[in-house]
Structure 1
Amino acid sequence: MDLTGKVAIVTGSGQGLGLAYARELARRGAAVVVNDINADTANAAVAAITAEGGKAHAVTGAVGSTEVAQALVDGAVETFGRLDILVTNAGMLRDKVVWKMTDEDFDQVLNVHMRGTFTCVRAAAIRMREQGEGGRIICIGSPAGQRGNFGQTNYSGAKAGILGMVRTWAMELQRANITVNAVVPVAATAMTETVPFLKPYVEAMHNGEQLPSFARRELGFGGPEDAAGIVAFLAGDAAAEVTGQAVGVGGDRLALWSHPDMTTTAYHDGGWDAEAIEQEWPTTFADHLESVGEKLPEEASAQ
């Protein structure tokens, strides 16, 4: 999986999952533009990558605006001469139940996750199309965006929206040989430390303890480095035909998420009024309703 000569941008890569992605891409030979809202954090990440023999350059700024997105692309082109890979990882949380969530809580999270993904992908797509040599765009999703999560109206909505955009961009950029995929990671980061059923496993990792097989396999939970391999794969030549997909990763587990689809259908001549639906519902639909939230194995549910 040689990425020598490739240039990547990884947003939100000063620490956590983003840093793991940036380090893995650099280890594979790519030059990496590191991004973080904090200059010291971004510079420390660059130092860590260069100390390992990689090439990296820091661009500080909070993703969301067109200006920061363009600064990231300009930083890649001016420093390394081109752009081949974009990983949109930057994120934040403002968790509250819907009746307590403020406009600011909602807007801040949507601005970073959803608008930030849009502006960065747009800027990268323009550059990649100008180069005419294809490219790789990898957007980071979340299980919360796939199934919902209590207290995360803003985050779940943004992550679900990102998947919708990924599928659209995969179609729009296919002729330019630019693949667009989503990675749905589960890993020990600052954003998962507050999840109650994951807390004991996060603490175990902080204490240098080995995670049990249940956590790594059934929960698909591990460290940030466990989620980095799929990013390197999707950035490489071996994934040239993979586009529009949502790939789950974490611990020892790798999985494909399905796209939304109709699961149960019925037909009624002349259309469906409320009474016809009331009559049909118990026999055709009632036993096929979808669940919400993560369906956790019993051991995790008991935590």
Structure 2
Amino acid sequence: MKELTGKSIVVTGAGGGLGAAYAQHAALLGASVVVNDVDRDAANACAKAITDAGGQAIAHPADVSNWDAGVALVDACVDAFGALDGFVNNAGILRPALLEHTTEADIRHMIDVNLIGTTSCARAAALQMKAQGTGGSIINVASGSQAGDIALGGYGATKAAISSLTFSWAMELRDTGIRMNAISPLAETAMAAQNAHLMALQGANRDVHYDALPAAEVNAPLVSFLLSDGARDITGQIVRIAGRQLSFVTHPLIAQPVLEDDWTFDKIANAFSDRLAGCQQKLGLAFAPKK
């Protein structure tokens, strides 16, 4: 039996790139898929590719920045396939800009799509899964840019917020059978290609950098695994897949050393001079020390 046989899922932003790869891979493993995209033609094309390959899919074009879109997508899945077992919050936009060139419109647009859209859809999915009483898997999309990236401050902020929401929602849902995880993918997509000029600049300012990006399809098996029963014990995690590398991304931690005293201005100044100034955290995506 295929690993996702009998499961009904929604993938947002699935008209192309990573979202289409997720939807098509899940369908190959037996899932019935609602293909969402803001672009109606792209959503229809992805759904058709799935059905032409012998899978089950319907298209449901919608703009996830509309708060009602989450409920509509869940309803579409239940109406078409009888239940909701998985939801992949892939839809997102990128508006790169240095701080001095950042506009209110771009920041608000990224918040609306990346953050409001993820929240609306995750909320609707969790409510449906709770009502069914059968559990399920909700997957959000984070990014290495949450650790900081030149010209990606606004985008990285929305992805850091998605990570924080994933941690919180997983804690809220941990006794319900509903798993809440995030992935941090890496791929050559149209969005990445439009901003290729930033790669060298970003790579020169962080430990983890790439000369080339893998195909979107490389990331799809991870999403299918997290949708499957094989991941029934995985929740509240950010899973990073970067070509041949698979790992967790650490949650925010209190860094060592933790100094104790009754702190005055002078004591704090001395603490930085003596200990803390040399313990500053790295900027940008970095690998944790090996154990």
Same fold (TM > 0.5): yes
The residue that corresponds to 1:239 in the other structure is 231
Deviations 1:232-257 (A, max 9, x none): 11111111010011111021111111
Q: How far did 1:218 drift?
A: 6.9
Q: How far did 1:86 drift?
A: 0.4
The code of the aligned residue for 1:151 comes to A
Q: How does 1:63-142 map to 2 (within 5 A)?
A: 63-142=64-143
Identity of aligned residues (%): 38
The residue that corresponds to 1:204 in the other structure is none
Runs of 5+ unmatched residues, structure 1: 200-216, 297-303
| Equivalent in 240, 260, 285 of residue 252 of structure 2 | 260
Q: How does 1:159-174 map to 2 (within 5 A)?
A: 159-174=159-174
Q: Residue 222 of structure 1 aligns to a residue in which SS?
A: coil
Counterparts of 2:142 and 2:189 in 1: how far apart (Å)? 14
The TM-score normalised by the length of structure 1 is 0.87
Counterparts of 1:186 and 1:140 in 2: how far apart (Å)? 11
The residue that corresponds to 2:269 in the other structure is 278
The residue that corresponds to 1:50 in the other structure is 51
Q: Residue 254 of structure 1 aligns to a residue in which SS?
A: strand
Indicate if the aligned counterparts of 2:67 and 2:116 stay in contact, CA closer than 8 A.
Answer: no
Counterparts of 2:261 and 2:245 in 1: how far apart (Å)? 46
Q: Residue 248 of structure 2 aligns to a residue in which SS?
A: strand
The TM-score normalised by the length of structure 2 is 0.91
Counterparts of 1:69 and 1:30 in 2: how far apart (Å)? 20
Q: Residue 191 of structure 2 aligns to a residue in which SS?
A: coil
Indicate if the aligned counterparts of 1:266 and 1:284 stay in contact, CA closer than 8 A.
Answer: no
Q: How far did 1:154 drift?
A: 1.7
Runs of 5+ unmatched residues, structure 2: 201-208
Q: How far did 1:66 drift?
A: 2.1
The code of the aligned residue for 2:42 comes to T
Q: Residue 60 of structure 2 aligns to a residue in which SS?
A: strand
Indicate if the aligned counterparts of 2:13 and 2:37 stay in contact, CA closer than 8 A.
Answer: yes
The residue that corresponds to 1:228 in the other structure is 220
Indicate if the aligned counterparts of 1:221 and 1:252 stay in contact, CA closer than 8 A.
Answer: no
Indicate if the aligned counterparts of 2:9 and 2:77 stay in contact, CA closer than 8 A.
Answer: yes
* RMSD of aligned residue pairs (Cα, Å): 1.8
Q: Indicate whether 1:287 and 2:278 are aligned.
A: yes
Q: How does 1:136-215 map to 2 (within 5 A)?
A: 136-145=137-146, 147-193=147-193, 194-196=195-197
Q: How far did 1:197 drift?
A: 6.7
Segment of structure 1 superposing worse, 93-102 or 69-78: 93-102
The total of aligned residue pairs comes to 277
Counterparts of 2:72 and 2:164 in 1: how far apart (Å)? 25
The residue that corresponds to 1:212 in the other structure is none
Segment of structure 1 superposing worse, 257-266 or 161-170: 257-266
Change (3 A) 1:218 1:91: closer
Q: How far did 1:94 drift?
A: 1.4
